[in-house]
Amino acid sequence: MKKETFAAVATLATMMFLSQGAIAQDQPERTNRSADTNSQLDQAGQAGARGQAGQSDRAGQSGARAGQSGQSQNMDQRFVEFASTNDQFEIQAARLAERNAQDDQIKQMARQIAQDHQQSSQKLKQAAQQAGIQVSEQLKPHQQAMLQELQEMQGQEFDRAWLYGNVAGHTKAVLKFRDEAREGQNEQIKQFAQQTLPTLQKHLQHAQEMAQFDTAQQAGATERANHSSDSSTDRTRSDSSGRSGSSFDRGTPGAGGTGTGRGISDSNSDTAGSKSSTGASSGQNPK
């Protein structure tokens, strides 16, 4: 009985010892596994952070490119809107000139302008369709107002108003088309501007010649030169008048000094002295 009890106790002690060894061995393994798990989590977190940073950078770059593209699109869109409304205004104003102009040369010029801008309008629509840009032919309020003013004019007044309006309008159009031809981003719209620009320049040159723009420039330059000369003369007279007034004050008798200025002060003093001498001679009459 004692032997069996001793054997049971020994067996139990052996099992407890083995169990403690297994537990002792398992704890480092769990620690290592936990460390490995934490390391993997850290690596995964870093990878996720890098991925988010990369996505953020790509999103930022995409946003910047989209912003630049949007600005370019807006520039081309604004140009298309200007060119379209400008064509429609020039066509309507030219048709009005064909009916109401007094000068036959103006009627002929208006007929050519209407034809050219009709062709320009068709080409613009094609280019805008290829570029995916909508075209509006609605006139601006100021264009409608100018047409209304022209309709109320007759004879030479109408001819001059229409002609001078062409000089101003085509000057602006040439500058707008020049900028688009240089800086436009959409290839179709840019090419349209490059091809149309010479026609607008021809219109501007013709309008300037008929309005005698060179003569007006020369007259303006002469007027500015005359105005500058008159201003200089006025300043000179002002300075001279100031000095004369000062001499007059210094030369006035009884002012407590001897005037050194000539002109008004000396002349008045001499005249006064002459009258005084005459009066004295008259008072010394022997009678």
Which tokens sit at 254?
């009884």
Task: Lowest mean pLDDT of 127-136, 183-192, 203-212, 269-278, name the range.
Answer: 269-278
**CA–CA gap between residue 60 and residue 63 (Å, rounded):** 5
pLDDT of 103 strictly over 80: yes
Q: What is the chain's mean pLDDT, rounded?
A: 74
Least confident of 69-73, 89-93, 135-139: 69-73
Predicted model pTM: 0.56
Q: Provide mean pLDDT across the span 33-41.
A: 58
Supply the range of the domain harboring residue 206. Answer: 72-221
277 or 123: which leads in pLDDT: 123
Output the domain CATH number for residue 131. 1.20.1260.10
What distance lies between CA 63 and its chain's CA centroid? 26
Position 135 in a domain: yes
Determine, yes or no, domain membership for 148: yes
Whether residue 153 contacts residue 98, with contact meaning beta carbons closer than 8 Å, is answered with: no
Residue 139 lies in a domain: yes
What is the Cα–Cα distance from 110 to 172, expressed in whole angstroms? 18
279 in a domain, yes or no?
no
- 38 has a pLDDT exceeding 50: yes
Residue 40 has pLDDT above 80, yes or no: no
Nearest to 163 by CA among 89, 115, 97: 97
Please report whether residue 210 resides in a domain. Answer: yes
184 in a structural domain: yes
For the chain, how many structural domains are there in total? 1
Structural domain contains residue 15: no
Mean pLDDT of 191-199: 98
Inside any domain, residue 53? no
Query: Using an 8 Å Cβ cutoff, are 109 and 206 in contact?
Result: yes
Angle (nearest 5°) at CA 50 between 44 and 55: 125
Q: Please tell me the predicted confidence (pLDDT) of residue 233.
A: 62
Average pLDDT for residues 14-33, to the nearest whole number? 53
Tens-place pLDDT, residues 79-94: 999 999 999 999 999 9
The alpha carbon of residue 256 and the mean position of all alpha carbons in its chain are separated, in whole angstroms, by 66
Q: How far is CA 244 from the centre of its chain?
A: 52
- Token readout for 278 is 């005459």
